[in-house]
């Protein structure tokens, strides 16, 4: 009898008790709107921004309604105008090109490597070819490219970098927290990311003008003085008149839930990595399967895992997906012709101009993806790895035998 896994790939841990208590407190006093403050009360949203700025080391932080909102807000705040070209990874999630479309800009996709990071040679070529002056860099599924090399290229070409850190909250490159290389960085606190408020996001930057515009965009009215992680009133002298209000504020209820999670984030990241490397070890040296090697300079957060079935046929990939599913292991395939659930390919974002990215196509054709919720034990992870290993081996050997 083949062993089966019975856990849920979509079940996250509960909100910590002190977070529940803080949320109940906000509901009891009823001041859920971030600017609805009594006396000298600071408010959970403003305090959360202060906490998250300190966590990343950024000067300024703004909490907003989602990661996607944070990205569109950051693009607008750094000056992206309708019709501008914005470079981005060809392998990413739909909200990334969506944020570019949100500001009326035009996505220009850059190839990714087999390490699932931006291809820096293609980045150089695409900068030259397109004349784009902005890069929305997605650390997709937590894979971080050589940030020193990337910043050298972008600084040299006058390209402004916005980082999408939806999967790298708590991660680092060469000891520098992810999100601290570019002009601004965006995070998500949606349920499947590293902190969970259902929906939510952050934007961080050291640039006072960018943050002043972002705060106005998020819908601060003339109440920006109530922020604790924003620049002083002088930075708002022009922004208060020139920046449209595009409401996307964080409320005190979600902020209360998040404030309880932030002090635990580093420990949670360590727990993710225990599980990640348990699975990675179990998959290593499986015939036909390529593990994604993590660079020495990267401090990852393994909240999901990817591997390649390099140059496999679609039928063989689908056979593995369906047999793993029968045994309770949910693999996502980024190479599917039709977008499914959260996964889609760049060619399914048809509002963008059709582009041909052969290296990325080859990677996506064999790219498997799996979430690692913290509700899984290490024993669960070992079992999951052994199921994948058996099914990949079985399929690979049956194909090799037939040739």
Ligand X SMILES: *Cc1c(COP(=O)(O)O)cnc(C)c1O
Q: 35, 55, 62, 95: which one contacts ligand X (CB under 6 A)?
A: 95
CB of 344 to ligand X, least distance (A): 12
Q: 56, 92, 113, 395: which one contacts ligand X (CB under 6 A)?
A: 92
- Tell me the C-alpha distance between 122 and 109, whole Å: 10
Q: Check residue 67 for interaction with ligand X (CB under 6 A).
A: yes
Tell me how crowded residue 111 is: count the other CB atoms within 10 A of its CB: 22
- Tell me the C-alpha distance between 300 and 142, whole Å: 7
Q: 22, 93, 120, 279: which one contacts ligand X (CB under 6 A)?
A: 93
- Length reported for the chain: 403
Q: Check residue 190 for interaction with ligand X (CB under 6 A).
A: yes
Q: Check residue 96 for interaction with ligand X (CB under 6 A).
A: yes
Q: Check residue 201 for interaction with ligand X (CB under 6 A).
A: yes
Q: 138, 205, 220, 304: which one contacts ligand X (CB under 6 A)?
A: 138
Q: 31, 76, 85, 167: which one contacts ligand X (CB under 6 A)?
A: 167
Q: 19, 43, 68, 97: which one contacts ligand X (CB under 6 A)?
A: 68
Choices 3-11, 63-71, 155-163, 235-243; region in contact with ligand X by CB under 6 A: 63-71
Contact between residue 251 and residue 34 where contact means Cβ atoms under 8 Å apart: yes
Q: 132, 140, 161, 388: which one contacts ligand X (CB under 6 A)?
A: 140
Query: What tokens does 370 get?
Result: 């799996």
Q: Which lies closer to ligand X via its Cβ, residue 190 or residue 395?
A: 190
Count interface residues toward ligand X (CB under 6 A): 15
List of residues 6+ apart from 293 with CB closer than 8 A: 115
Choices 161-169, 242-250, 346-354, 360-368; region in contact with ligand X by CB under 6 A: 161-169
Exposure b/e, 131-164, CB count within 10 A at least 16 = b: ebbbbbbbbbbbbbbbbeebeebbeeeebbbbbb
CB of 363 to ligand X, least distance (A): 16
List of residues 6+ apart from 151 with CB closer than 8 A: 161, 181, 182
- The burial of 168, by beta-carbon neighbours within 10 Å (0-12 exposed, 13-18 middle, 19 or more buried), is given as buried
List of residues 6+ apart from 50 with CB closer than 8 A: 61, 228, 229
Choices 61-69, 177-185, 211-219, 324-332; region in contact with ligand X by CB under 6 A: 61-69
Q: Which residues contact ligand X by CB under 6 A? A: 66-68, 92-93, 95-96, 138, 140, 164, 166-167, 188, 190, 201
């Amino acid at each position: 009898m083949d062993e089966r896994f019975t856990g849920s790939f979509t079940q996250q841990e509960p909100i910590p008790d002190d977070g529940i208590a803080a949320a109940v407190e906000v509901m009891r006093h009823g001041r859920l709107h971030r600017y609805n403050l009594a006396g000298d009360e600071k408010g959970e949203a403003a305090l959360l921004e202060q906490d998250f700025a300190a966590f990343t080391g950024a000067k300024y932080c703004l909490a907003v309604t989602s990661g996607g909102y944070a990205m569109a807000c950051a693009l607008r705040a750094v000056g992206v105008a309708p019709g501008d070209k914005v470079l981005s990874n060809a392998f990413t999630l739909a909200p990334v090109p969506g944020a570019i479309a949100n500001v009326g800009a035009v996505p220009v996709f850059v190839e990714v490597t087999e390490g699932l990071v931006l291809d820096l040679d293609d980045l150089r070529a695409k900068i030259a070819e397109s004349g784009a002056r902005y890069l929305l860099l997605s650390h997709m599924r937590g894979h971080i490219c050589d940030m020193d090399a990337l910043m050298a290229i972008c600084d040299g070409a006058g390209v402004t970098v916005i980082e999408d850190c939806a999967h790298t909250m708590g991660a680092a490159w060469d000891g520098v927290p992810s999100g601290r290389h570019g002009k601004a960085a965006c995070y998500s606190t949606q349920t499947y990311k590293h902190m969970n408020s259902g929906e939510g996001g952050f934007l961080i930057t050291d640039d006072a003008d960018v943050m002043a515009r972002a705060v106005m965009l998020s819908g601060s009215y003339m109440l920006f003085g109530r922020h604790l992680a924003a620049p002083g009133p002088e930075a708002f002298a022009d922004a208060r008149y020139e920046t449209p209000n595009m409401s996307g504020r964080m409320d005190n209820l979600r902020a209360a839930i998040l404030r309880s999670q932030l002090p635990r984030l580093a420990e949670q990241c360590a727990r993710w990595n225990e599980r990640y490397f348990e699975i990675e070890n179990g998959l290593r040296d499986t015939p036909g399967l390529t593990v994604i090697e993590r660079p020495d300079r990267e401090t990852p957060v393994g909240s999901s895992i990817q591997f390649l079935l390099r140059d496999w046929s679609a039928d063989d990939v689908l056979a593995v997906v369906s047999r793993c599913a029968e045994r309770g292991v949910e693999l996502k395939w980024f190479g599917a012709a039709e977008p499914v659930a959260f996964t889609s390919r760049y060619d399914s974002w048809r509002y963008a101009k059709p582009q041909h990215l052969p290296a990325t196509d080859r990677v996506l054709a064999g790219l498997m993806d799996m979430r690692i919720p913290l509700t899984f034990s290490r024993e669960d992870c070992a079992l999951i790895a052994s199921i994948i290993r058996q099914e990949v081996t079985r399929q690979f050997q049956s194909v090799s035998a037939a040739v």
